[in-house]
Amino acid sequence: MGKQHFAWLRVLAGVGLGGCGQSRGIVVPAFAGWWALCYVLLMPAWALAQPKSKEDEGPKIPPPEDAVVQTADGVTISLTYYGSNKGREAVPVVLLHGHRGSRKDFAPLALYLQALGHAVVAPDLRGHGESMIRKVGTRSETLDASRFTARDIEAMSRLDMIMIKEYLWTKHNAGELNLNRLCLVGAEMGASVAMDFAAYDAVGYMQGNPPGSPTYGALQVGRFVKAIVLISPEWSFRGLTMAGPLNNPFVSRSIPMLILVGGESTRLVADAERIHKLLSKNHPEPSEEDRDKYLAKKTLFLGVLKTGMQGTKMLQDKKLGVEKHIARFIHLRLINSDEAREWTWKELRKPHQ
């Protein structure tokens, strides 16, 4: 059977994510047009946000805190940390904004995920928001994102993100989260940064240690990224393509991914489907008929949404339920999966410490 095309499943209790090419659960009439939505039924979406009784409330959720980190080339990266009340069980989620955006674009999603117990970091990538200054010796220069090339975008994943990793490493050893359950959520440009960083993390890239191996002797220095959400990804952004990360065996085979894109952009849908097609070679569709068993083994999801919006703007339309889909994906792959149960917290030591 060829590829099936379905309209957007109405946002009702019980509607969730599925996989491209096969629809399990409710099939709705095809929407006039060409976009696909390949979804299956999950647990009711409202279950993710049910208020807890006073008896069920654990430690109080800490208020967001702002911080800065300094990159190796002198850029001051501003970020907001939304701490968790689950300590070592907390899933860390890094939210990466789009071009000309800022961490503020993700503030509602960050608070939503924090309320579910996740530890969230939202940085302003270089040249955006409050991360505009680079110090070179005794002088300072203002970064202009409109002039950025592939080299500058690559610096976000090689230099900005490595300091985010260092920041999370410290939070991990303080018992505030489990870095071995790291999830990246990238929108548009941020999707390119997420994928590129995942490729560097797969080979142990960290501050002061060039990429080579995810381990240094008995010490783990890489492969912390365990799930990625791509929102309106582009095949190539300012010359930084998806080809490199997708050719990395660990990224293409071992990292579960959720891809979401607005269906009214022919170009972006084509890019999302291209990425999905390449990944699907290493993420076979589960054969289980039981829904729970099917979802337990499913590692690749594609949603083409009936909207003209893209990137973080899709979060503004609550009817799309983007935040609930992201939360459910995190729950499936980083909390409830067999693999996640093996990613227990342990202190992380760095080489030469």
Pick left, alpha or beta for residue 352 (phi over 0 → left; psi -120 to 50 → alpha; otherwise beta). left
Residue 35 has pLDDT above 90, yes or no: no
- Quote the pLDDT of residue 204: 75
Least confident of 18-22, 214-218, 313-317: 18-22
Structure tokens at 85: 């009340």
Q: Which of 9-13, 142-146, 216-220, 292-296 has the highest mean pLDDT?
A: 142-146
Q: Which of 269, 277, 220 lies closest to 252, judged by CA? A: 277
pLDDT tens digit string along 118-155? Answer: 999 999 999 999 999 999 989 999 999 999 998 999 99
Adjacency order of strands within the sheet including 119-123:
65-70, 76-82, 119-123, 92-96, 182-187, 225-231, 257-262, 300-305
pLDDT tens digit string along 242-287? Answer: 999 999 999 999 999 999 999 999 999 999 999 999 999 999 999 9
Average pLDDT, the chain: 84
- Domain covering 61-342: architecture: 3-Layer(aba) Sandwich (3.40)
pLDDT band at 203 (very low <50, low <70, confident <90, very high): confident
Contact, 255 vs 226, CB < 8 A?
A: yes
For the chain, the structural domain boundaries read 61-342
Burial class (CB in 10 A: 0-12, 13-18, 19+), 32: exposed
Higher pLDDT, 221 or 181: 181
pLDDT tens digit string along 329-348? Answer: 999 999 999 999 999 999 99
- Quote the pLDDT of residue 52: 52
Pick left, alpha or beta for residue 220 (phi over 0 → left; psi -120 to 50 → alpha; otherwise beta). beta
Amino acid letter at 131?
A: S
Name the phi and psi angles at 31, rounded to 5: -80, 145
Residue 45 has pLDDT above 60, yes or no: no
pLDDT band at 11 (very low <50, low <70, confident <90, very high): very low
Average pLDDT on 92-108 reads 98
- Range 319-325, long-range pairs (CB < 8 A, 24+ positions): 319/11, 320/11, 321/11, 321/15, 321/45, 322/231, 322/260, 323/108, 323/109, 323/112, 323/113, 324/45, 324/48, 324/49, 325/16, 325/17, 325/258, 325/260
Q: Which of 95, 337, 333 lies closest to 230, judged by CA? A: 95
d(CA 94, CA 223): 15
Residues in the chain: 353
DSSP-assigned letter for residue 306 = S
In the block, tokens 């590129």 appear at 196
d(CA 208, CA 169): 14
d(CA 294, CA 257): 16
Angle, alpha carbons 92-274-211 (nearest 5°): 45
Q: Which of 7-16, 31-40, 156-165 has the highest mean pLDDT?
A: 156-165
Helix, strand, or coil (residue 345): coil
pLDDT tens digit string along 78-90? Answer: 999 999 999 999 9
Least confident of 46-55, 186-195, 344-353: 46-55
